[in-house]
A = this chain, B = another copy of it.
Amino acid sequence: MVTILRIGHRKKRDKRITTHLALSARAFQASNIIIAGEEDLQLQESINKVTAEWGGDFQISMIPYDDWKPFVIQWKSEKEEIIHLSMYGETLSVFENSNDFKMLINDNNKLNNLLIIVGGKKVPRKVFELAKWNIAIGNQPHSEVSALAVFLDHLNPKALDTCFMGAKREVKPSIFGKKEYKDENYEE
């Protein structure tokens, strides 16, 4: 189970970035995303609609901004792992070659419970402290959307090839593009 915590969401300004973040989390097999910021039912609805159409059981929930801290502290007290993605963190390739990275995968070749924190522009200092590992998907200014996707892809290289159960819509992959299967129950 991989849980994503997005710290910061301003309904107007961040709608599209947070949507891209949630869609990427889902596409790369995270199980849920928690968004700490302004409540945004429309965003939540649009992600749930994608899940209803394209399958799987990805969950999205929202908490007030300030609740990120008790949430992370609770997670930590349960001794589950916490990774914070930041351009200031340790280089991904260094982390990948460490024993810590291997320990994220358990004996059954499955991922242990893991919280991945992605911030916006200004991340509270406390996040760096509470995370067990601060990891950089490159130490250059980039995007939390690409950082999350690349990290999840490295964590589980089969994520992209995993099917989503109960899909009403499904792409038929094609080098020429645009072939789609729609379930008989699917209504446009």
Contacts and interface: CB of A to CB of B under 8 A. Distances in A.
B17 A142 contact: no
A173 B139 contact: yes
A155 to B, nearest CB: 12
A161 interface: yes
A145 interface: yes
Interface in A79-135: 84, 86-95, 125, 128-129, 131, 133-135
B138 A160 contact: yes
Nearest to A92: B160
A174 interface: yes
Q: How large is the interface on A (under 10, 10 to 19, 20 to 34, 35 or more residues)?
A: 35 or more
A173 B85 CA distance: 12
Contact of A173 (B27, B90, B178): B90
The 8 closest A-B pairs by CB, nearest first: A146-B149, A20-B143, A134-B177, A128-B177, A139-B171, A27-B142, A27-B140, A24-B146
Interface of A: 13-14, 16-17, 20-21, 23-24, 26-28, 50, 54, 84, 86-95, 125, 128-129, 131, 133-143, 145-150, 153, 159-161, 164, 170-171, 173-180
9 contacts: A28-B142, A54-B140, A88-B171, A88-B177, A88-B178, A91-B161, A129-B176, A139-B170, A139-B173
Given A17-B20, A139-B171, 11 more contacts: A17-B17, A20-B145, A27-B138, A89-B174, A90-B174, A93-B160, A95-B175, A134-B175, A139-B170, A146-B150, A150-B150
